[in-house]
Amino acid sequence: MSGTTTSSGTPISSLPQASAVSGTDTLVGVVTSAGTTQAEQIPVSVLAEGISETIGLSDAVTTAQTAAGTATTQAEQATENAANGVNAARGKANGVAALDGSGNLALTDGTVLQSVLTVVPAIQTQTATLKPILALDESAKIRTSSGDIALSDMATAMQDDDYLTVLGGAVVARPSTTGAVPSDFTVNGNVYVAPAAYISNLSSLPAGLSVDADTGIVLTDGSIFFPNTINNIGVLCAVSE
């Protein structure tokens, strides 16, 4: 059709070529409609609508949008159902483990979840440890080499040949060797002080004890246990209520 000219006589092939069009732009063409053929101006939007309708593009887009909306709704519902299922089973029998906001293990008390266990982080000199958050019931048991012992029975169980209760209610290992503090020792602010005679005759001191020559303060090496005393960094001190 390169020989065809416009009304001005310019060949169609010589007309400038558009690089882009918009819906408001107009094309010129020959249109046959209802048995009539004639030259018409055709808006790009009209041409696009005609092509879309002919190939069913609008219906396809509508169908795709509907399907996408349905899929989104179903996905949201599935997510909600999964979340509800997990929440309903948290901390319950045959359910899933529950963690509180700090990452501690939580168990139900029949009504609400209670934080029960936490992990104390490891440090350079110590491995991580497990720490109960709630107080243990007195019926809880501790496993020992000789069997299981209830917490309520611990104090009684430890009153044997290996342990004893000292002032303040503390349970300590029973010492293998005990001694007696000489009756002529005096106490100055809970610190035992020996008479001068012991300074000049150290051999008269009970085993495990020595005396500071300048002050007369009695010192202990910790090898002998003296009832109702404490070893305060080597100084023998009387225990007071």
pLDDT at position 81 is 84
The rounded distance, in Å, linking the Cα atoms of 76 and 69 is: 11
* Domain-located, residue 72: yes
CB-based contact 216:196 (threshold 8 Å): yes
The rounded distance, in Å, linking the Cα atoms of 206 and 191 is: 17
pLDDT at position 2 is 46
* Domain-located, residue 228: yes
Q: Tell me the two tokens of residue 149.
A: 């012992």
pLDDT at position 57 is 78
Instruction: Tell me how many degrees the CA angle 153-158-160 measures, rounded to the nearest 5.
Output: 125
pLDDT at position 217 is 95
Q: Tell me the two tokens of residue 113.
A: 């979840």
CA pseudo-torsion sign 37, 39, 43, 47: positive
* Domain-located, residue 160: no
* Domain-located, residue 161: no
Instruction: Tell me how many degrees the CA angle 75-79-81 measures, rounded to the nearest 5.
Output: 115
- Residues of the domain holding 228: 186-238
pLDDT at position 85 is 76
Same domain, 197 and 229: yes
Same domain, 74 and 108: no
* Domain-located, residue 63: yes
pLDDT at position 5 is 47
Task: Give, for 163, the enclosing helix (H) or strand (E).
Answer: strand 163-165
Q: How many domains does the chain have?
A: 3
Tens of each residue's pLDDT in the chain, 241 residues: 444 545 556 777 777 888 888 888 888 778 888 888 888 888 888 887 878 778 877 778 888 888 898 989 888 888 888 878 777 777 777 777 788 889 898 888 888 888 999 999 999 988 999 999 998 888 888 887 778 888 887 766 655 556 555 555 555 566 678 899 999 999 998 999 999 999 888 889 999 999 999 999 999 988 888 888 888 778 999 987 5
* Domain-located, residue 214: yes
Same domain, 71 and 102: no
* Domain-located, residue 117: yes
Residues 6+ apart with CB under 8 A from 83: none
* Domain-located, residue 73: yes
Q: Tell me the two tokens of residue 135.
A: 């107080």
